[in-house]
């Protein structure tokens, strides 16, 4: 929604409310600005000078049993300033046997990147599979139950339920009130002092993910249905499966001077939509993957490379025997990205990135994109996840 007096008043009220003020919450602001030459398929940054997501966060322990966090994001699109409530949740601190409960609005713990804020990424934008299947990063109103096993290796099992509005398919007029269910597991550990790893597996069931597509509605299905929500998924389906793997190396476990991070994810989106009459040939699934490597070779400099693919169906309307029908064929979006970043401190990053994209899906006009980005953090900011 657009920034207005009501929204500003709500933000001020949250910042000055007595429970948070009495508990001295950590307050942080993250600034994200850029210059970009070109447009990325399903990207959140426009050609020219612009602002990414400016994040304002308050977090801290409410008491010995509960933790709370509030995160608002301001962004500009087509000259308009928009504000969105990205996180507003409470989480238990004292449940026994490794259990915890989180309720409110929060980031889903799907895959490797989704539970992290975009400003912590090593690249300017999320991989294509995230932008297409999750709207960049999926956050929603919901409830989470987590269990950390009492084992030598790190092992967590979790279940989440969400409203699912941003993952709703075109043509779903009476959506389920709880539309998304997510089950996941993560397993990780260390090899000596220098090496660490993590594996993750997720299954997300979207009861509102199967819409309808028919002739004469092709353009609307591809574009208009997602303009109203900045983080809506471009492609939806009934089941989303995700597999991720991460490996990290740092001499003696010290990440301050130099380290290497290798990560990869594969996502499969099954049963994307239904035909509304006719005998169209519909795709069985969408899928994609990426492989990323980032090396910090001095305390102040890092470099990275990432390659990814997204494979989905492209619909073309044809006239046969006087009737309009949709014909589907496979299309691919391929992205190769190179980045170099300077970190004056843990709180400031200046990044230069080159992206080469081959877009056979969304019709992006530019195949080469150059982006100069800065990310600056003010105030106390919590440590990022593994």
Burial class (CB in 10 A: 0-12, 13-18, 19+), 72: buried
Q: What is the CATH number of the domain that holds 365?
A: 2.40.160
User: Among residues 84, 80, 81, which one has the least CA distance to residue 72?
Assistant: 84
Q: Is residue 166 part of a domain?
A: yes
End-to-end CA distance of the chain: 32
pLDDT digits (tens, 9 = 90+) for 58-97: 999 999 999 999 999 998 777 778 899 999 999 999 999 9
In a domain, 184, yes or no: yes
Which stretches of 44-199 are DSSP H helices? 128-133
Q: Is residue 199 part of a domain?
A: yes
Closest CA to 107 of 88, 92, 131: 88
**How high is the pLDDT of residue 172?**
84
φ and ψ at residue 294, rounded to 5 degrees: -130, 130
Q: How many domains are there within the chain?
A: 1
- Predicted confidence (pLDDT) per residue in 12-37, tens digit: 444 444 444 456 889 999 999 999 99
The per-residue pLDDT for 183 is 98
55-59, 162-166, 220-224: least confidently modelled range: 220-224
In the predicted structure, residue 220 carries a pLDDT above the cut 70: no
Tell me the C-alpha distance between 355 and 338, whole Å: 7
Top-confidence residue, 305 or 173: 305
With cut-offs at 50, 70 and 90, classify the pLDDT of residue 316.
low
Summarize pLDDT for 108-130 with one digit per residue, the tens. Answer: 999 999 999 999 999 999 999 99
Domain, as residue range, for 129: 91-373
The whole-number pLDDT of residue 232 equals 87
């Amino acid at each position: 929604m657009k920034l207005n007096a009501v929204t500003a008043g709500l933000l001020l009220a949250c910042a000055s409310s007595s429970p948070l003020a009495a508990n001295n919450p950590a307050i942080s602001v993250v600034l994200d600005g850029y210059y970009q030459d070109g447009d990325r398929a399903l990207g959140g940054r426009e050609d020219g000078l612009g602002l990414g997501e400016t994040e304002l966060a308050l977090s801290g322990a409410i008491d010995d049993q509960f933790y709370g966090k509030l995160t608002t994001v301001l962004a500009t699109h087509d000259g308009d300033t928009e504000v969105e409530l990205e996180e507003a949740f409470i989480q238990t601190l004292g449940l026994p046997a490794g259990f915890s409960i989180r309720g409110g609005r929060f980031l889903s713990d799907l895959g490797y990147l989704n539970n992290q804020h975009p400003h912590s990424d090593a690249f300017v934008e999320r991989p294509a599979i995230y932008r297409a299947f999750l709207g960049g990063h999926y956050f929603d109103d919901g409830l989470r139950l987590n269990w950390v096993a009492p084992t030598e290796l790190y092992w967590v099992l979790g279940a989440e339920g969400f409203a699912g509005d941003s993952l709703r398919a075109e043509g779903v007029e009476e959506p389920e009130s709880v539309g998304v269910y997510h089950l996941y597991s993560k397993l990780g550990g260390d090899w000596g002092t220098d090496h660490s790893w993590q594996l993750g597996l997720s299954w997300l069931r979207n009861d509102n993910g199967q819409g309808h597509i028919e002739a004469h509605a092709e353009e609307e299905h591809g574009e208009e249905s997602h303009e109203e929500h900045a983080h809506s998924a471009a492609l939806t389906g009934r089941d989303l499966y995700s597999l991720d793997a991460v490996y990290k190396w740092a001499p003696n476990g010290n990440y301050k001077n130099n380290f290497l991070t290798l990560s990869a994810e594969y996502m499969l989106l099954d049963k994307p939509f239904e035909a509304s009459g006719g005998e169209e040939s519909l795709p069985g699934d969408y899928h994609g993957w990426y492989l990323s490597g980032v090396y910090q070779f001095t305390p102040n400099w890092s470099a990275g490379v990432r390659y990814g693919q997204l494979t989905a169906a492209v619909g073309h309307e044809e006239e046969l025997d006087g009737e309009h029908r949709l014909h589907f064929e496979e299309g691919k979006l391929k992205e190769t990205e190179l980045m170099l970043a300077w970190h004056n401190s843990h709180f400031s990053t200046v990044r230069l990135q080159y992206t080469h994209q081959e877009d056979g899906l969304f019709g992006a006009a530019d195949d080469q994109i150059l982006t100069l980005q800065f990310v600056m953090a003010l105030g106390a900011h919590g440590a990022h996840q593994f």
